[in-house]
Every structure is written in structure tokens, then in C-alpha cells.
């Protein structure tokens, strides 16, 4: 859980990196609460084949990321399935490594963006496999209508002292048939109060699931502004994920070159 929650801190940069565009608006209608036995966090993880995913060492894929209509990042991502380490090989030849809480990067990169990039995209990708990490608290399940679609939804908060940002929260929406995660709305407190962070919540939508070795993986991400009453509103960005494969561990996979810079 410590790695997961630490990653939430770097999401603060989304508020700076994105620019608003048009989006669909629709009120959210609440229905009666569902018994927790109908579906649960554990069932979401089962539907995402968490056990099989974690049986693999590392996942590799191509990522093309755009915000405000401009390319934000393009390259190859390699992440340990347990989120402990990762490597981003960017199209310009620069690389970012992370090993637990430490980040290594090519000397000519912008340090202010490095830590954000190191953890944010891996966090979004690995989110379905970290729902029951230590320190997580889930609300009772509800069924709601958002943007003309019905979802099972639960709010995720954290116990005091969990990671670096225990005041962050997530509103997670899964579909009512397969219980795969469709949307995760969130706030990032960082150096802000909860009240201030709640003035500008965002959301990531997971789209176009495909099966890789029997594991459902979203091949498109869409980023939005979000409110509890209107759901997904302004479009902020999008990403395409492709060329998935699982990669075995090796002695050199996550070892940065000796001349790389580092930040904690």
C-alpha cells in the first residue's frame, strides 16, 4: 500500500499538465444500496484476474499520451506487476527508472516532471490490482447512473498514517455485468486541504478492454473533469496502450546506468 499511496502524490501534476475541452454532461441518479455480497472489491480484483497478473514478473506495453491535443509522452513502459519497480523508455532516448521510492533518470531530463512520470502512469495501469492493499477503506456498494450508464460504485479512502496522502480519495465505478473498472474519479491533496482539492476532482476512464493471456487490460484511457452530480464533464486528455507482453525478470532490467541522476 505504501507504494500505491505514494504514487497518488504525483497525481497533483495532472492539474497543471491538462487543459480543458468539451465533454458530455449528465446527472447521476442514485438507486438503492446493494448488498456487499452481490459484488465487492475482491470480486473486482478477481474479474481483473489479479492473481494471474501477479503471477507474472513484469508487464510491457507501448504508451501514447496526449493532453490538450498535444503529445505528452510516447514510449515503452515496463512495470513490475507488484509495482515495486519500473522503466520508461521514451521515444527521444531518455529513460526513467524507479525502484520503490527512488527514481533514476537521464541527465538532460526535466527533474520537476521525472518523479511525476515515474509513478503516475504505472499507478493508473496497476490500479485494478491494488484495490485491497493495506490501509484501504471502502464504502458500502451503491448502484448509480452516470452519463446515461449504470455502474456499481464505491468510495475508496485510507486509514490515517497510510502512505504520504491519507486524505486522498477515489470514487470507483465498475460495470454492472462484468464488474470491470470503468472510471476512477479522484482528488489529490498534496499540500492542499481536502476542501481545496475537492474543488477540482478529475477522473480516468478505462476503455476498450482486451484480453492478454486471459487478463483484461484497458487499451485506452480518457481523462476528464468530474463532479458527483454531473459525472464526467470536460475532456482533458487521452492515451493509447498497445503491444502488451509479459517479461521475465533479469539481472539488468531495472538497473540504471551509473551516470543517471537520482531523486528520492
* Predicted pLDDT of residue 72: 96
Q: CB burial class (10 A; 0-12, 13-18, 19+) of residue 135?
A: middle
Q: Which helix (H) or strand (E) holds 213?
A: none
pLDDT at 34 over 60: no
* Predicted pLDDT of residue 181: 97
Task: State the architecture of 2-263 in CATH terms.
Answer: Clam (2.50)
Q: For 188-234, how does the pLDDT look when each residue is reduced to its tens digit (9 = 90+)?
A: 776 678 788 888 899 999 999 999 999 999 999 999 999 989 999 99
Q: CB burial class (10 A; 0-12, 13-18, 19+) of residue 203?
A: buried
The predicted model gives 227-255 an average pLDDT of 96
For the ranges 37-41, 91-95, 257-261, which has the lowest average pLDDT? Answer: 37-41
pTM of the model: 0.84
* Predicted pLDDT of residue 216: 97
| Phi, psi angle pair for 41, to nearest 5° | -60, -40
The predicted model gives 52-62 an average pLDDT of 98
Residue 185 CB: number of other CB atoms within 10 A?
Answer: 24
| Phi, psi angle pair for 52, to nearest 5° | -70, -40
Percentage of residues of the chain with pLDDT beyond 90: 64
CA distance 103 to 114: 8
pLDDT at 167 over 90: no
Amino acid at each position: 500500500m505504501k507504494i500505491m499511496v505514494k504514487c497518488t502524490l504525483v497525481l497533483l501534476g495532472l492539474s497543471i499538465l491538462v487543459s480543458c475541452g468539451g465533454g458530455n454532461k449528465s446527472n447521476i441518479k442514485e438507486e438503492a444500496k446493494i448488498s456487499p455480497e452481490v459484488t465487492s472489491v475482491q470480486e473486482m480484483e478477481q474479474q481483473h484476474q489479479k492473481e494471474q497478473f501477479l503471477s507474472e514478473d513484469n508487464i510491457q506495453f507501448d504508451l501514447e499520451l496526449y493532453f490538450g491535443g498535444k503529445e505528452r509522452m510516447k514510449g515503452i513502459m515496463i512495470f513490475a506487476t507488484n509495482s515495486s519497480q519500473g522503466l520508461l523508455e521514451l521515444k527521444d532516448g531518455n529513460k526513467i527508472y524507479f525502484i520503490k521510492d527512488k527514481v533514476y533518470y537521464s541527465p538532460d531530463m526535466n527533474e520537476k516532471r521525472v518523479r511525476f512520470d515515474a509513478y503516475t502512469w504505472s499507478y493508473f495501469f496497476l490500479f485494478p490490482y491494488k484495490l485491497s492493499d493495506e490501509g484501504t477503506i471502502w464504502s458500502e456498494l451503491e448502484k448509480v447512473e452516470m452519463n446515461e450508464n449504470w455502474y456499481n460504485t464505491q468510495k475508496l479512502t485510507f486509514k490515517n498514517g497510510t502512505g504520504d496522502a491519507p486524505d486522498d480519495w477515489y470514487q470507483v465505478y465498475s460495470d454492472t455485468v462484468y464488474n470491470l473498472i470503468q472510471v476512477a474519479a479522484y482528488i489529490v491533496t498534496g499540500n492542499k486541504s481536502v476542501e481545496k482539492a475537492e474543488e477540482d476532482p478529475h477522473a480516468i476512464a478505462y476503455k476498450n478492454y482486451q484480453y492478454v493471456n486471459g487478463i483484461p487490460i484497458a487499451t485506452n484511457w480518457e481523462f476528464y473533469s468530474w463532479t458527483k452530480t454531473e459525472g464526467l464533464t470536460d475532456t482533458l486528455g487521452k492515451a493509447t496502450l498497445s503491444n502488451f507482453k509479459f517479461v521475465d525478470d533479469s539481472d539488468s532490467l531495472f538497473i540504471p546506468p551509473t551516470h543517471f541522476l537520482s531523486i528520492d
